[in-house]
């Protein structure tokens, strides 16, 4: 039997293989996480449906509460948000006028 031959790979090709391996590892990890999260996504849907079905909150109230929480979590500047909202409203008109 002959010995396997070794080839020296230049830095450029080595970086491509490394980047490709990082991409593959990232995607495998992401898919595993998404699969693990699936039961929680169903629980989240069920929770939302329960609140709507029992008329504890409307869809719009849930949407607004979740958006407020996300903005709060990001320490969003409400003045900047209001300024952007005003710009959008001036450009596209008020939803009340639509």
> What is the mean predicted confidence (pLDDT) over 50-77?
95
Tokens, residue 78:
């409400």
The owner of tokens 């450029």 is: 12
User: What per-residue confidence (pLDDT) applies to 9?
Assistant: 53
Q: Which sequence spans correspond to the domains of the chain?
A: 9-55, 57-98
Burial of 22 (0-12, 13-18, 19+ CB in 10 A): exposed
Residue 19: the pLDDT is 85
In angstroms, the CA 92 to CA 82 distance is 15
When pLDDT is averaged across residues 34-54 and rounded to a whole number, the result is 95
Q: Report the predicted TM-score, pTM, of the whole model to 2 decimal places.
A: 0.62
Q: 46 vs 14, which has greater pLDDT?
A: 46
């Amino acid at each position: 039997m002959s010995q396997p031959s070794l080839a020296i790979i230049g830095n450029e090709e080595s970086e491509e293989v490394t980047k490709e391996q990082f991409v593959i590892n990232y995607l495998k990890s992401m898919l595993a996480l998404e699969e693990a999260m699936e039961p929680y996504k169903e629980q989240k849907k069920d929770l939302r449906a329960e609140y709507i079905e029992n008329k504890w909150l409307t869809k719009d109230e849930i949407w607004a509460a979740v958006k407020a929480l996300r903005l709060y979590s990001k320490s969003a500047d409400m003045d900047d948000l209001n300024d952007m909202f005003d710009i959008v409203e001036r450009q596209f008109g008020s939803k009340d006028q639509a």
